[in-house]
Amino acid sequence: MKITFSQLKKLSVQTQSGVYLGKVVDVVLSVEENLILQYKVRSYKIVGHTFLINNSQVREITAEKIVVDDASLPDATAVFSTSV
Q: How many domains does the chain have?
A: 1
Task: Look up residue 45 and give its amino acid.
Answer: K
Kindly give, in sequence order, each residue whose CB lies less than 8 Å from that of residue 5, ignoring residues fewer than 6 positions away. 27
Q: Quick: pLDDT tens for 51-77.
A: 999 999 999 999 999 999 988 666 543
Higher model confidence: residue 23 or residue 83?
23
> Measuring CA to CA, which residue among 10, 47, 49, 45 is closest to residue 26?
10
Q: Is residue 78 part of a domain?
A: no
- The 58-61 sheet, strands edge to edge: 50-54, 35-43, 20-30, 12-15, 65-68, 58-61
Q: Quick: pLDDT tens for 4-34.
A: 999 999 999 999 999 999 999 999 999 999 9
Q: Give the CATH number, domain containing residue 32.
A: 2.30.30.240
Q: Is residue 12 part of a domain?
A: yes
Q: Is residue 83 part of a domain?
A: no
Task: Look up residue 76 and give its amino acid.
Answer: A
Residue 44 dihedral angles phi and psi, to the nearest 5°: -85, -15
Q: Could you tell me the residue range of the domain that residue 21 belongs to?
A: 5-72
